[in-house]
Amino acid sequence: MTDTRFPTTPAKVFVPILTLVLLVAMLTLQDPQIVAFLCFSSLITAMLHFNVFESTSDSNPLNRIDFTIQIVFLISSIARAFIMGSGKY
């Protein structure tokens, strides 16, 4: 198997930063509607990851870092949205 390494672009730097900002916002805000919106935005940023990074076999460290952040953001936002949504009924 050959190692592929695509060049770093500004979009590849922006996507992890955007995801980290949204992850921190999701963890700190207490409004259930905003958390639900951020849960939906986690799906959008996951799609954005696969549009910006060319291949999952890319050995660029930003690819692996962003993919890990995307998985954490996706799972934690879905869990937090369910927990916040089920607490008041």
- What pLDDT shows up at residue 42? 94
Number of Cβ atoms within 10 Å of the Cβ of 74: 17
43-59 exposure pattern, b = at least 16 Cβ within 10 A, e = fewer:
eebbebbeebbeeeebe
The residue assigned the tokens 């995801």 is 19
Please tell me the distance from the alpha carbon of residue 28 to that of residue 43, in angstroms, as a whole number.
19
What is the number of helices (H) and of strands (E) in the chain? Answer: 3, 0
Taking 70 as the threshold, does the pLDDT of residue 1 lie above it?
no
| pLDDT tens by residue, 42-78 | 999 999 999 998 887 888 889 999 999 999 999 999 9
pTM for the predicted model, two decimal places: 0.87
